């Protein structure tokens, strides 16, 4: 593996109502790696992602980003390195026009107007959304909102891109466009997803979470062929690994004319 950029050590977290979301989670991510976090609803995926940039802070264990432990005093540094794209773009896009949303991060980093404009246009061009620069976000399609949300993170020039359910609400064409876009990035990518076909296309490595614990960590193709593991974690094989249901029927049966 290449140099480690994220290290999670014995991470545990419970919500105020006592719900245990993460329980002794440990793993490392190498520079340039594409890693998927999969699991059924309630497995702890989103909670884990929110720890990676300090949106949530651990009650036990630690998260280390580029050699820096994540805690209150290091949040500014960590959030420059780790950009998070939320599951719902509407949680990320809140300014009157697209330009302002994409500029929000660079402005708060203290960059000058010329550099902010350069970053805004560069990020939007990179996701194929420069033509949307003057549009209000609420008038965009789901795919356009997703692209702008990614641009709002890219404008801060992070080393690591973290995405929560990136294909949710996308139509097939939007999904293909997103896959091509993310595949072109050299960033370290960490993706939490229910769309296992998308994971199979994008990520060579997958971690399976179940009830806040890691059940497996390995090659994506191997994980998705382990039916006992998938059953235990309440998952199913990606659709294209399930085979054709008609061909799966017993041979020798003929259709009646």
Both structure tokens of 32: 């340039």
Please say if the pLDDT value at position 255 is more than 50: no
Please say if the pLDDT value at position 253 is more than 50: no
pLDDT of 216? 97
The string of pLDDT tens digits covering residues 25-47 is 999 999 999 999 999 999 999 99
Please say if the pLDDT value at position 252 is more than 50: no
pLDDT band at 245 (very low <50, low <70, confident <90, very high): low
Q: What predicted TM-score, i.e. pTM, was given to this entire model?
A: 0.88
Q: Does residue 189 contact residue 154 with C-beta atoms inside 8 Å?
A: no
Mean pLDDT of the chain: 90
Least confident of 25-34, 61-70, 96-105, 177-186: 177-186
| Average pLDDT for 44-60 | 93
pLDDT band at 257 (very low <50, low <70, confident <90, very high): very low
pLDDT band at 241 (very low <50, low <70, confident <90, very high): confident
Q: How far is CA 80 from CA 17, 49, 93, 217, 251, in A?
A: 31, 15, 18, 27, 58
pLDDT band at 2 (very low <50, low <70, confident <90, very high): low
| Average pLDDT for 180-209 | 93
pLDDT of 254? 43
Percent of the chain with pLDDT over 90: 74
pLDDT of 247? 56
Please say if the pLDDT value at position 250 is more than 60: no
pLDDT of 103? 96
**Residue (of 113, 145, 106, 105) closest to 129 by Cα position:** 145
- The span from the CA of 206 to the CA of 218, in Å, is 6
pLDDT of 256? 41
**What is the second-level CATH architecture of the domain 4-240?**
3-Layer(aba) Sandwich (3.40)
Please say if the pLDDT value at position 251 is more than 70: no
Percentages (nearest 5) of helix, strand, coil residues in the chain: 35, 25, 40
Please say if the pLDDT value at position 169 is more than 90: no
Residue 36 exposed, middle or buried by CB count within 10 Å (0-12, 13-18, 19+):
buried
Q: Cα-atom radius of gyration of the chain, to the nearest Å? A: 20
| Average pLDDT for 252-257 | 41
């Amino acid at each position: 593996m290449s140099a480690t950029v994220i290290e999670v050590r014995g991470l545990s977290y419970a919500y105020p109502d006592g719900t245990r979301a993460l329980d002794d989670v440990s793993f490392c991510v190498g520079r340039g790696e594409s890693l998927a976090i999969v699991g059924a609803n309630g497995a702890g995926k989103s909670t884990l992602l929110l720890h990676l940039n300090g949106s949530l802070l651990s009650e036990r264990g630690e998260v280390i980003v580029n050699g820096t432990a994540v805690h209150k005093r290091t949040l500014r540094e960590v959030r420059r390195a780790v950009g998070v794209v939320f599951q719902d773009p509407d949680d990320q896009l809140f300014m009157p026009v697209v330009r302002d949303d994409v500029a929000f991060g660079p402005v708060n980093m203290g960059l000058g107007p010329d550099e902010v404009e350069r970053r805004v246009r560069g990020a939007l061009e990179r996701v194929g959304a420069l033509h949307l620069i003057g549009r209000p976000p609420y008038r965009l399609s789901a795919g356009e909102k997703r692209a702008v949300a990614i641009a709002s993170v890219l404008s801060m020039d992070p080393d690591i891109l973290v995405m929560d359910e990136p294909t949710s609400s996308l139509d097939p064409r939007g999904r293909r466009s997103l896959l091509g876009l993310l595949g072109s990035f050299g960033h370290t990518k960490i993706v939490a997803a229910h769309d296992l076909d998308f994971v199979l296309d994008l990520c060579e490595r997958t971690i399976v979470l179940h009830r806040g614990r890691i059940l497996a960590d390995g090659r994506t193709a191997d994980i998705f062929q382990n039916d006992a593991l998938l059953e235990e974690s309440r998952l199913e094989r990606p659709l294209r690994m399930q085979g054709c249901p008609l061909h799966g029927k017993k041979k020798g049966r003929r259709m009646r004319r």
